Structure 1
Amino acid sequence: MSEFWVDVVVENVVGKCKCCLSEMELKTLWDQHEFEGDGEVYGEMLNECFGISFHQPDPSEQICEVCIVRLREALEFKKEILATQEMLQEGVQVVKEDVSNEKQQMEEGPEEVPLTHVSVEFLQKKDEDYDDYIPEVDEIKEITNNKFYKFVRDIQKLLTFTNAIPFRTRATRYYCFYCSTDGPLFEDPDELRSHTTTEHDKERISRVEQHMKPQWLNEVIKFDIKDLQCTECMLTLHDWNNMFVHFAETHDIGFDEAYTRVIPYSLTSDLQCVLCRENFANYGLLDIHMNLHYSNHVCFKCGDTFLSVSRLDKHMTTHKTGNFPCTKCDKSFSLNYYLTRHVNLVHNQKTPKCVYCKKNVEGPMHLHISEEHSEKVKPLTCEVCGKVFTWKPYFVAHMRRNHIGVKKYKCEHCPKKFIKPYELKTHSITHTRLSRLFECGACKATFNSITSIKKHISVHDKEK
């Protein structure tokens, strides 16, 4: 029985995180990895922080990105505690007093008194400024916990009195808040809303606190507020900020943390900021834009604002200038961020991974998805002209080019107009014979672009 159990355990942990058994974004535990210009070995960091020793390090052991971040923070916290203890010890004066006479007086007592009595006095600075009060660690922890529980209560109020849907994102893709990024992804926001309301109706409010932990990883929460309504009076709430006024004045419902930590989105095919009504081509651009509206954290070097600490930390890496040479070629970069991009694009040449089958795909991703996972792709039909698309970026580009975008670039030679300057430039070539620089070797026909002549040569190839 014991042999069978060992076999099962070994089989289950292969290809999973050594710390949490996750299968997402894994890195080897014993190889050296680059981080902010320094090398780090995660197995050695585990040993240093928690005293976990591996007698025979296995090259196949891995750790996920989430645990790597938590390990770095734990190690820094341990170093901070040790440094604090060292400072406290340096600030202690031990005074020894002879109390032998006291012992003689208490010989008849039930307890034995030590020969040496130790009194401890903390040394204080002579010019100490008591106005600059620094709270203790326990006080800071208590304040942080109070803010977190107020934040959870605010989320529960919003989920109780509105039809808003919480959600998560990863690489500009939508995920269920309750299933997290380990669950299914949703290309269509309507399917995400339907999944959340049907599959998680009972835990929608009661398990919010559980899904908001750990605190450092859930500083903010994203809400989809498409067709937002007040469930108390069934009033349609067209403005996010006026919603708080409505609850305060009409229903006497107040909020503490939601003003700055609940980030509103309206997930539709035509993405628009719900606060300033600016339009965006994709969710990634909209998500970056929301930093302008929520200045929870400010970069002290450039003044840019960010809605969470994680975004600020990622931004700060762009300010760490220096000389970062590439170990695989003779190029060097002023930012470590540029070096990492160079290595990934030039030397590693990582191919993108399919979100459905987790395979690395060489070539256009949309062709792989349409051929291998056609049953999971929802066709998008243009309501204006009836064209059907299986790839959302193509659908969005079609709508902007043909039905939404403003054609403000007019050709000087004909009535045609264009959305982009390069489209006008490409079109203008067709009005002059001098630009026909590409000649067919078979029939001497001339063309103004290499694309046109390639298309023409394919006709000759078919005739052979």
Structure 2
Amino acid sequence: MDIARGPRKNEKRMKPGKEGNLQTKQHLFSFFLSIGTRRKTNILEKTVRKRKGVITLISKTTPSLRVVIKKKLEVDKHLENIREILLNSNATPIRSKGGVGYACCFCSKQFPEPADLKTHTIETHDERTKSNFMKGITLDDFIVKLDITNLKCKLCDTHLDNITDFLDHLKIEHEKRTSVNSHIIPFKFDSDVLRCSMCSKQFNNFKVLTEHMNVHFRNHVCEVCGAGFVNKRTLRTHGYRHRTGIFSCSTCSKIFDTKVKRREHERAVHVHMHRRNKCGYCGERFTDYTKKNEHEVKLHGAKPVILSCNACEKIFDNQRSLTVHSKNYHLMERRNK
């Protein structure tokens, strides 16, 4: 069918009565036009059929365009899924953690505690805002960090333990359309200890916990080391670790065989020239992460950083000291005297 001219005279039209088909057909036509096919094309639609709740388009077109269509349809399923979760539960998306604390996905505010972010999101942002969450994102970049602490259904006040049970509950009890959840990363903040919501492993840092969650969501696997990752962008970022070559330090004459080693060197040796550690309250920069934390506690009343060793009862006020302690006393990496 020539999309620019519309259906031909003898072409079989789809019946509007068939639920979903006509709407999906129109959506796909609009999508074709949106990706630059306003001119005449050779795309000939053969059939649109419903299979296990998924609308499948079979068309005579280029393989690259078929991939684009497939990704677009999959993103739509992810969008519908997260929309049903946000509109029908108290689950809260987390943009990131840095500066003052946990950042809201719908505005620029940050909160020291996840519970404060949850209260803010529920009381401040309406259903229209939540309905548009993640729109425009590509499949390669799609990932949602979701706080499911004390997860509860808004429709019937039922408490659920995990996101999979909640999606099944919406589908069975409330006839909501739900499907995939493999790009939704769940977090629980129901104790003073930061733990993985899936294996209960303990962490001292939210960033490290976030990286750990890739273990449970192996949607994309590194061909070199076998590590799994939630989305394709994370896999690509990881892939830089395996690239070898000649990488020179931008400040001194040292040369490294990977970009990762060069970056670690620059941060460790030349970081004082960049002052990377920025106060989340006033914006002042520091040469050292520990100094930044001390500044935030003394001047802004931030909560002191307390990191506990998993192998003994010692506590530390910064990650560097904890790492050195773990290597020297628990991993048997003491230097030979």
After superposition, the CA RMSD in angstroms is 3.1
Match of 2:204 among 256, 281, 293: 281
1:52-451 to 2 correspondences below 5 Å: 135-171=62-98, 173-179=101-107, 183-208=108-133, 211-215=134-138, 218-257=141-180, 259-268=181-190, 269-326=192-249, 328-349=251-272, 350-351=274-275, 352-362=277-287, 364-374=291-301, 377=302, 390-391=303-304, 393-394=305-306, 397=307, 400=308
Equivalent-residue separation in structure 2 for 1:230 and 1:200 (angstroms): 18
TM-aligned CA distance change 1:191 to 1:405, over 3 Å: farther
Q: Secondary structure at the match of 1:256?
A: coil
Query: Do the aligned residues in 1 keep the contact of 2:186 with 2:197 (CA within 8 Å)?
Result: yes
Query: Do the aligned residues in 2 keep the contact of 1:361 with 1:368 (CA within 8 Å)?
Result: no
Higher share in helix: 1
TM-aligned CA distance change 1:189 to 1:327, over 3 Å: closer
Question: Per-residue displacement from partner, 1:48-84 (whole Å, max 9, x unpaired)?
Answer: xxxxxxxxxxxxxxxxxxxxxxxxxxxxxxxxxxxxx
Equivalent-residue separation in structure 1 for 2:199 and 2:102 (angstroms): 22
* Displacement after TM superposition at 1:292 (Å): 0.7
TM-aligned CA distance change 1:150 to 1:421, over 3 Å: closer
Query: Do the aligned residues in 1 keep the contact of 2:241 with 2:258 (CA within 8 Å)?
Result: yes
Q: Secondary structure at the match of 1:260?
A: coil
Q: Secondary structure at the match of 1:169?
A: strand
Equivalent-residue separation in structure 2 for 1:206 and 1:241 (angstroms): 20
The answer for unaligned runs of 5 or more in structure 2 is 1-59, 315-324, 331-337
Give the match for residue 126 of structure 1: none
Equivalent-residue separation in structure 1 for 2:126 and 2:226 (angstroms): 42
The answer for unaligned runs of 5 or more in structure 1 is 1-132, 378-389, 409-418, 425-464
TM-aligned CA distance change 1:327 to 1:138, over 3 Å: closer
Give the match for residue 34 of structure 2: none
TM-aligned CA distance change 1:405 to 1:336, over 3 Å: closer
The amino acid that maps onto 1:174 is Y
Q: Secondary structure at the match of 2:257?
A: strand
Equivalent-residue separation in structure 2 for 1:272 and 1:148 (angstroms): 29
Structure of higher CA gyration radius = 1
Equivalent-residue separation in structure 1 for 2:281 and 2:186 (angstroms): 28
User: What percent identity do the matched residue pairs reach?
Assistant: 26
The amino acid that maps onto 1:161 is N
Equivalent-residue separation in structure 2 for 1:262 and 1:216 (angstroms): 13
- TM value normalised by structure 1: 0.49
Equivalent-residue separation in structure 2 for 1:239 and 1:155 (angstroms): 14
Higher relative contact order (CA 8 A, sep 6+): 2
Query: Do the aligned residues in 1 keep the contact of 2:93 with 2:105 (CA within 8 Å)?
Result: yes
Equivalent-residue separation in structure 2 for 1:243 and 1:188 (angstroms): 24
Equivalent-residue separation in structure 1 for 2:165 and 2:179 (angstroms): 16
TM-aligned CA distance change 1:143 to 1:334, over 3 Å: same
Equivalent-residue separation in structure 2 for 1:283 and 1:361 (angstroms): 21
- Identify the range of structure 1 (298-307 vs 228-237) with the bigger mean alpha-carbon deviation: 228-237
Query: Do the aligned residues in 2 keep the contact of 1:240 with 1:274 (CA within 8 Å)?
Result: no
